[in-house]
Structure 1
Amino acid sequence: MTGRAKALMWTGIGLCAAGAAGLVVGGVLDVDAADPWASVAGGAAGLVGLALTIYALFSDGGGTTSVTAGGARSVAAGGSIGVAVTGDGTAVAAPPAAPSAPAPAPPAPRAGNVTASGDRSIAAGGDIGSASTGDGR
């Protein structure tokens, strides 16, 4: 869970706890006075919850993807990798002829860390089409 998601979660929990405490105090002091406050608090909590849900749904997560390639001949990409070759004497085949219909758009990179840390390791935040880490003969 990212820092922003944790902050939103604890904000929601805090608002719920404050609302519950306010309703208990209002109920103990004067039940008739607590009724309108409960209606207002319930409506406000519903709107704030809806706003936070929509914000979380459409936000990018607030973080950037960390991409690190640390090993010899390692490859790391925040998005998708079409072809990756890390071996000696390995040839990359020519791509096939273009299809008559346009290809669908590649998926967006996933949020998080992408790390290729070992020798000839390959890591991607998206899809890997073809990967070869060995030497050709």
Structure 2
Amino acid sequence: MRARRVVFKDPATQKELAFITNEPTLAPEQIAALYKKRWQIELLFKRIKQRYPLRYFLGDNVNAIQIQVWSMLICDLLVQIVLSQVNKAGKRKWSYANLAAMVKHHLMTYINLMAFLFDPEKALLNYKPPEPTAATLF
């Protein structure tokens, strides 16, 4: 198999990066960009394996496994979005584990999650449970 060594100098850090590739036609900048995207995918897989260990699946067919994996990816994306918004705008910095635990804890409550994450003490002091309503059958 023929291989090519590509050296790319990062303009931001002035580091020289060397890559081995079997792609003979792409420019070194394109090879470096591909490796950067690949590294982001590797970091995603690492994060998923650490935060959502799928030790067993709830079903044994392909559809059940796909549903569980897609649910985990959606959950990770939503928690990442909330984490970035809260840490960007709030005075309190949340770790991923603490934020995920708070979201899990308040998933079925009527508290405003974003207000709680910005200022938990104030949100809990201002919390008023909803009035119970009588259920009607018809």
TM-score calculated relative to the size of structure 1: 0.27
Q: Give 1 or 2 for the bigger CA radius of gyration.
A: 1
Question: Whose helix fraction is larger, Structure 1's or Structure 2's?
Answer: 2
TM-score calculated relative to the size of structure 2: 0.26
Question: Whose strand fraction is larger, Structure 1's or Structure 2's?
Answer: 1
